[in-house]
Amino acid sequence: MGVIVVAAGRGVRFGGAVPKQYRELGGVPLLLRALRPFASHPEVAHVVVVLPVADAANPPGFLAELTGGNLSVVAGGSERRASVARGLAAVPAGCSLILVHDAARPLVDRAIIDAVIAAARRGVGAVPVIPIGDTVKESDGAEPGLAQVIRTVPRERLWLAQTPQGFPRALLESAHARDTDGARATDDAMLIEQMGAPVVLVAGSRRNLKVTTDEDLFLAERLL
């Protein structure tokens, strides 16, 4: 099994001089925390870390302890889909199952990883999710303060998607090959959905949060 850890983003929403994936959580960079559960997983044969172009040419020192036969670093693309595609191309051919994980999710646990693997082994895409607890409003597209509510969206069948997402390699490769119209998919499951192929949901966790803002980092510190 191969794993792609995507860390090629610029972290614009997070801000600050240090790129988000290198910010520390409990003294450990977010990226390192995110990839450790996969690097130590007994069923994972290879991990590919996708970094910004400049960083891929000169990877952070904390990756030195892991880089080698079972971990490699590649340069990402201009957007997420391209970065995943480059990571996928770097996974050894013998890996028939692929997991894709965001480096901004540093607290993923083994139970979620195992659940995604078990589902993907059935030949489908698999996505960990959590239910939406708040009321969801759809607006007319204006900014808060000017926006008006169009409707309240029923939330019973709505879920928040997380990573890692798992796929049979052939299915993921086919999805990326078919995405020739420049669609900016926000996750890989969306590419599978566009093919009409099945994607199943598995239980995620609110602990498996995505660090996007300083407030998220503070919450992750508290959870840790």
Give the architecture (CATH level 2) of 2-223. Answer: Alpha-Beta Complex (3.90)
- pLDDT (average), residues 18-44: 93
Mean pLDDT of the chain: 91
N- to C-terminal Cα separation, the chain: 28
Q: Please tell me the pTM assigned to this model.
A: 0.93
Measured between alpha carbons, how far is 1 from 94 in angstroms, rounded to an integer? Answer: 8
Q: What percent of the chain has pLDDT over 70?
A: 93
* pLDDT, tens digit, 9 for 90 and up, residues 74-99: 999 988 999 999 999 999 999 999 99
Name the band, by pLDDT with cuts 50, 70 and 90, for residue 130. very high
Name the band, by pLDDT with cuts 50, 70 and 90, for residue 10. low
Match 């959590």 to its residue by tokens.
130
Is the pLDDT at 160 greater than 80, yes or no? Answer: yes
* pLDDT, tens digit, 9 for 90 and up, residues 109-122: 999 999 999 999 99
Strands (DSSP E) found in 76-198: 97-102, 125-131, 136-139, 149-153, 159-161, 165-168
Measured between alpha carbons, how far is 134 from 137 in angstroms, rounded to an integer? Answer: 9
Tokens of 143: 């900014």
Is the pLDDT at 5 greater than 60, yes or no? Answer: yes
Residues recorded for the chain? 224
Name the band, by pLDDT with cuts 50, 70 and 90, for residue 179. confident
Tokens of 101: 């994980």
Measured between alpha carbons, how far is 81 from 189 in angstroms, rounded to an integer? Answer: 11
